[in-house]
Structure 1
Amino acid sequence: MSSAGARAPDTQQPSQNKQSLHYIVRSGIAGGTAGCVAKTVVAPLDRVKILFQASNPEFQKYAGTWSGAFRAASQIYADNGVRGLLQGHSATLLRIFPYAAIKFIAYDQVEHILMPTRESQTNGRRFAAGAISGMISVFFTYPLELIRVRMAFSTRAQSTQVPHTFHPSHSPPPHRPSFLAAMSQIYHEGASVPPPSASSASPLAPVSANSIFARLPAVKFYRGFTVTLVGIIPYAGTSFLTWGFLRSSLVPPPDASRPASDRRPSPLADLTFGAVAGAVSQTVSYPFEVVRRRMQVGGLTHPERWMRWGETVRSIWATRGWKGFYVGLSIGYLKIVPMTAVSFTVWQWGKRVLGV
């Protein structure tokens, strides 16, 4: 009796401590680290996928085939080297650490509320916990995501079209926009005098004094936010649902007689569950992602107004039909499957290392 009584508190402690500051901070560190590691692993594929989704004219010839992703990456490498493949990655890391930290913290807390015991776990609650955590993280980190996309969208050819007032003896403007330059470009979009980094591919109309952008310039950093918020529901919900379902179905229930380190799935199991979760969630949510990318880069062609859902969807449909909503899906699989697998695995590993 005494030995059983001594073990009982240990089996309950993790659940009781989930709302403590100690648990929240360490869970956030584990989640943020997991996000950074996972994004770094797939950074070159992420750059190519953004160029495909946003219909960058230089890279449309590569879209639609599995080999196209590697040929596009080869062109980027030939033009700009390794730095080209990692363009926009600094902004990605600035965004992904808080994004992943908030997402995993929120999931832990929502899971604790909705599913305090193994018996209370259902697929509906798993989906709800994932969707809620995804929406919370997107709300707080979306401006960083928009800046990252703009940095990744810029290419060498576009930079040669950029008007500037440099003296011939001066160096031309760099074709790789910095984080601050991309942020400034977004903030000044639609101004009566376009900033030096604005593209001249099409005329840029100034923002009307009555426009929401003129009254609230910060709103420019939320282009595509509504479709992102809606799209994160099936993506994060399905991701956590699949991952949680596989863990509960294929991993034996915890045994209090075994050490705590033996009660969790192995890293290989977490990698497998994460890979399946990534593939399923990517398939379900991909059309939302394509629409979101188009709306995010819409400020480069229509800086004076807000690109709406209907307009963006009609534009994609008119250009490529239903296939347009799945442009870059093959590279999406190449990116999301390993990224999700690594993310879940490093998150669980980090929690073990940090004692949560």
Structure 2
Amino acid sequence: MRANDSSNTQSLHYIVRSGIAGGIAGCVAKTVVAPLDRVKILFQASSPDFQKYAGSWSGAIRAIGQIYTENGARGLLQGHSATLLRIFPYAAIKYMAYDQVELILMPTRESQTNLRRFSAGAISGMISVVFTYPLELIRVRMAFSTRSSVPPQGVPYRPSFVLAMSEIYREGSSIPKASPSVIPETTASLFSRFPILKFYRGFTVTMIGMIPYAGTSFLAWGFLRSHFIPPPPPSSDSRARSKSNPVTNLIIGAASGAVAQTVSYPFEIIRRRMQVGGLTRPDRWLHWGETVRAIWNSRGWRGFYVGLGIGYLKIVPMTGVSFAVWQWSKGILGV
């Protein structure tokens, strides 16, 4: 099958296989770093049970130890079921969209530029967020819940996907609509008429943050591959891809993740605070400016990089595994 044959590369069969390859890559990568992912969410969202551990690598290890002592292995994977439910369609859509956008913006190897690589990554990332953001919000709520985040009921609290979804749906139902100090009436009426919007807390900052994250990630991926992987023979098809091994893909993917994480991390901090706003401030609807001011007033500029160390510890292997498994899966599926 010729790679530059649009009837093949844009066919439903090709697109489905491309999506499956991306979904597999995302699930494998997320499972590898699931315990670190939960600890990072607890740090970013300033969980009162775990703030004493924030700010150091050893603190992350101690936090993992506390979670394991209190809840066992299930505690380390709390919220992971929602993660997998979200990450498969998210990664599938992202990588599938990237394959298609890359085909449009960079149909030949000679047409590849850093701006086009960045644009292709940013566009694919934003498309995936639009369709999967509610699942991300539910996953964050499940991971954020600890013993002190819910009233004691005399029984162990294990948040489920359905329970988290139900709590989000009910949030704000008791807030007076006419109280401008809590939430503008127009916003209250919107949430009353369209409850689905409650599942998009922090959506705008996520979309804005996705541009530098996905864009930089795919930019670094394409740039490093073009410099460290030999091009295909001149006699081959102009769209033919260079041969690379899993170790090379793993290293290049890890480096891409590190660069993308550094660029976009402040947006991630703001997003996490907004996502858990219904739990930490049930009487208010937190917005962009208010969230940024709260972080700045609390810890200054360092507040926007809380948990960055554990972010590297998580993102570097996760992105490396994701890109490597993506390429491997595409080879297996003949994409």
Distance 1:238 1:263, change over 3 A: closer
Distance 1:262 1:233, change over 3 A: closer
User: Which of 189, 197, 203 is the equivalent residue of 1:219?
Assistant: 197
Q: Which amino acid aligns with 1:148?
A: R
Q: Which amino acid aligns with 2:162?
A: L
Does residue 69 of structure 1 match 2:47?
A: no
CA distance in 1, matches of 2:244, 2:67: 39
Q: Which amino acid aligns with 1:255?
A: P
CA distance in 1, matches of 2:274, 2:241: 47
Q: What are the equivalent positions in structure 2 for 1:156-195 lying under 5 Å apart?
A: 156-159=147-150, 161-162=151-152, 172-192=154-174
Residues 130 and 239 in structure 1, CA contact (< 8 A), matched pair in contact too:
yes
After superposition, give the CA deviation of every residue in 1:146-179 in whole Å (9 maximum; x if it has no partner): 00000000012333x25x6xxxxxxx45411100
Which residue does 1:201 correspond to in 2?
none
Distance 1:212 1:134, change over 3 A: same
Q: Which amino acid aligns with 1:106?
A: A
Which residue does 1:51 correspond to in 2?
42
User: Which of 296, 305, 308 is the equivalent residue of 2:275?
Assistant: 296
Which residue does 2:224 correspond to in 1?
246
Q: Which amino acid aligns with 2:225?
A: R
Q: Which amino acid aligns with 1:319?
A: S
Which residue does 1:153 correspond to in 2?
144
Q: What are the equivalent positions in structure 2 for 1:125-164 lying under 5 Å apart?
A: 125-159=116-150, 161-162=151-152
Alpha-carbon deviation of 1:104?
0.3
Which residue does 1:110 correspond to in 2?
101
After superposition, give the CA deviation of every residue in 1:280-308 in whole Å (9 maximum; x if it has no partner): 00000000000000000001133455311
Which residue does 2:178 correspond to in 1?
none
* Farther-moved stretch of structure 1 (15-24 vs 308-317): 15-24
Does residue 30 of structure 1 match 2:21?
A: yes
Alpha-carbon deviation of 1:14?
6.4
SS at the partner of 1:307?
Answer: coil
Q: Normalising by the residue count of structure 2, what TM-score does the alignment of the two structures yield? A: 0.92
CA distance in 2, matches of 1:218, 1:60: 32
CA distance in 2, matches of 1:64, 1:72: 11
Which residue does 1:315 correspond to in 2?
294
CA distance in 2, matches of 1:271, 1:255: 24
Alpha-carbon deviation of 1:216?
1.6
Matched length: 327
* Farther-moved stretch of structure 1 (92-101 vs 299-308): 299-308
Q: Which amino acid aligns with 1:178?
A: S
CA distance in 2, matches of 1:207, 1:80: 40
Q: Normalising by the residue count of structure 1, what TM-score does the alignment of the two structures yield? A: 0.87
Distance 1:119 1:85, change over 3 A: same
How well do the aligned residues superpose, as a CA RMSD in angstroms? 2.3
**Over 6 Å off, 4+ runs:** 205-209
Q: Which amino acid aligns with 1:68?
A: G
Does residue 91 of structure 1 match 2:82?
A: yes
Find the structure with the greater CA-based Rg: 1
* Farther-moved stretch of structure 1 (66-75 vs 46-55): 66-75
Residues 37 and 343 in structure 1, CA contact (< 8 A), matched pair in contact too:
yes
Residues 3 and 9 in structure 2, CA contact (< 8 A), matched pair in contact too:
no
Alpha-carbon deviation of 1:208?
6.5
Residues 192 and 206 in structure 1, CA contact (< 8 A), matched pair in contact too:
no
Residues 211 and 305 in structure 1, CA contact (< 8 A), matched pair in contact too:
no
Residues 36 and 93 in structure 1, CA contact (< 8 A), matched pair in contact too:
yes
Alpha-carbon deviation of 1:207?
9.9
Alpha-carbon deviation of 1:92?
0.2
CA distance in 1, matches of 2:279, 2:63: 22
SS at the partner of 1:116?
Answer: coil
CA distance in 2, matches of 1:122, 1:236: 16
Residues 106 and 136 in structure 1, CA contact (< 8 A), matched pair in contact too:
yes
After superposition, give the CA deviation of every residue in 1:179-222 in whole Å (9 maximum; x if it has no partner): 000000000012239xxxxxxxxxxx899694422222111000
* Farther-moved stretch of structure 1 (244-253 vs 337-346): 244-253
Alpha-carbon deviation of 1:16?
5.6
Distance 1:321 1:117, change over 3 A: same
Residues 207 and 303 in structure 1, CA contact (< 8 A), matched pair in contact too:
no
Which residue does 1:198 correspond to in 2?
none
User: Which of 326, 331, 342 is the equivalent residue of 2:305?
Assistant: 326
Q: Which amino acid aligns with 1:126?
A: R
